[in-house]
Amino acid sequence: MRVNIDIRMVRTPALIALVAAGLCYGSLSGAGWFRETEEKEWQRQERVAREMMLKYQAAAEDVQQIAVYYPRFKNYKAQGIVGVEDRVLWVESLSRQARALQFVSLTYSMAPPAIFSSPRFGKLVGADLFGSAMSVDMGLLHEEQLINLITGLQDDAKGVFSVDECTLERKGKGGRLDRGGEMANFTGHCRLMWFTIKGREGHWGESS
């Protein structure tokens, strides 16, 4: 049986079908692209949020350490351990102890501060340890005055110091001791080292 098809009658439906198929394919492709773009954006936002969380945690730890250590730092500055050395206060404390202990005589000298290094202290970060050597010569009535001087400085002086050496020698060996308080029965010599910690290049608000 022979069937005659009029091309003009099927052309329009065929074109419509082709267009519909193209639209469906385009729609599916567009949906896939949209999902891919949306997923990439979500990953980017997640990465940014993760980085922000890490920074927040680091900042929170820093704030916590500041809360713990800054009061100690202020206390060290108040004690004269950190910051610019106060040589006047050291000398005043030495003179005050000598008067209280009734030394017969007292002379002293101080060397300029210099960077002090020792394996015991290790290496400071952003700071230097300075030492100032003080030489003290004393005229004493009795031996205990020397011991009492060191003890008095430890209780009274502002800052930290160490005793490098001390010597004590009796004057007029074999003779009687002067109890009047006008003549020294012993001569004492001590070498003290006063310490301060100072930040490099203006750390901690200190001038370099």
Tens-place pLDDT, residues 61-85: 777 777 777 787 787 777 777 878 8
Residue labelled with tokens 């002067």: 178
Please classify residue 193 by burial: count the beta carbons closer than 10 Å to its beta carbon, then call 0-12 exposed, 13-18 middle and 19+ buried: middle
Query: Quick one: average pLDDT of 99-123?
Result: 86
Percent of all residues in the chain with a pLDDT value above 70, rounded to a whole number = 71
- Average pLDDT, whole number, for the chain? 77
C-beta of residue 140 within 8 angstroms of C-beta of residue 187 = yes
Quote the pLDDT of residue 134.
95
- Give me the half-sphere count of Cα atoms (radius 13 Å) on the Cβ side of residue 25: 6
pLDDT value of position 30: 52
Residue 2's pLDDT is: 47
Q: Which residue has the higher pLDDT, 23 or 81?
A: 81
For range 77-106, the mean pLDDT: 88
Where do we find the tokens 């110091």?
A: 161
Predicted local distance difference test score (pLDDT) of residue 91: 93
Instruction: Please give the pLDDT value at position 74.
Output: 80
Query: CA of 135: how far to CAs of 55, 65, 139, in Å?
Result: 52, 40, 14
pLDDT band for 3, please (50, 70, 90 cuts). Answer: very low
Asked whether residue 144 carries a pLDDT value surpassing 70, the answer given is: yes
- Cut 0.85: pTM above it: no
Rg of the chain taking only CA atoms, in angstroms: 42
Residue 147: which pLDDT band, with cuts at 50, 70 and 90? very high
Instruction: Return the axis-axis angle of helices 144-156 and 87-100, rounded to nearest 10°.
Output: 140
